[in-house]
Amino acid sequence: MAYVLLETKGHVGIVTISRPKALNALNADVLNDLSNVFTQVAKDDNIYVVVLTGEGRSFVAGADISAMRDMTAVEGQEFAALANSTFLQIENLAKPVIAAVNGFALGGGCELSMACDMRIASEKALIGQPEVGLGITPGFGGTQRMPRIIGYGKAMELILSTRKVKADEAYAIGLVDKVVPHDQLMDEAMKLAESIAVMPQVAVRQAKLCIRKGMQADINTALAFESEAFGLCFSTEDKHESMSAFLEKREAKNFKNR
């Protein structure tokens, strides 16, 4: 891939958007590379958790305005469809995805971070949805994911006013889950990823699935999802080992992830 890099450390896949001269702005090439890398991640049984970040001083500064300026209505809709397909691919990945927001996360960058399961921000992060000021709406999920994450009123305020928030305010309103010193960002993201990677992965993935599906469903349907996942885990070797270790007052070992 020309614009998205993948490396692994243990059972953690590190995905880095690498278009630093354009502040990692999203165009069709970047989105296609991102999709291809996450397809590779999905197939790699050695990767349990993903950390997604950007190269340089930006996570993703937004969609590429130079690419969008002369688009027709049809082309704009097709561009949004490509981005939404890619972001849904990330959101629906069985493996947890942590956004390490290292700088600007504006427009499509904010939307990309919200498609991830968790967000850790550098103290230098700046986050927002500036699209209305450019004469368009957010098109990569911002109008849908932001109110689900931070609530209706605050999402309305940020999207309609285009106000950007610094890391501390983003944390206060729930747009990110943790803020850390800039030079500690990747260490903190890796620490969280590794703490998840050592868990029984069937349980991890079923829990993620329940949370994601449940957020889109009524409580009765969501509880049915949870009951099904709960029961499925009882058929795993890891459930037997974990519960036996608890009762025997020892550390669980040799998870088979099955």
Written as tens digits, the pLDDT of the chain (258 aa) is: 799 999 999 999 999 999 999 999 999 999 999 999 999 999 999 999 999 999 999 999 999 999 999 999 999 999 999 999 999 999 999 999 999 999 999 999 999 999 999 999 999 999 999 999 999 999 999 999 999 999 999 999 999 999 999 999 999 999 999 999 999 999 999 999 999 999 999 999 999 999 999 999 999 999 999 999 999 999 999 999 999 999 999 988 788 888
CA–CA gap between residue 27 and residue 68 (Å, rounded): 9
- Annotated active-site residue in 75, 78, 131, 228: 131
Residues 236 and 258 sit within 8 Å (Cβ to Cβ)? yes
Out of 111, 157, 194, 237, the active site residue is 111
Assess whether 241 carries a catalytic annotation: no
In 3D space, the residue among 101, 30, 99, 32 whose CA is nearest the CA of residue 66 turns out to be 30
**What is the rounded CA–CA span in Å between residue 159 and residue 151?**
12
- Verify whether residue 169 is a known catalytic residue: no
Q: What CA–CA distance (Å, rounded) separates 65 from 130?
A: 12
Domains present along the chain, CATH in parentheses: 4-197 (3.90.226.10), 201-247 (1.10.12.10)
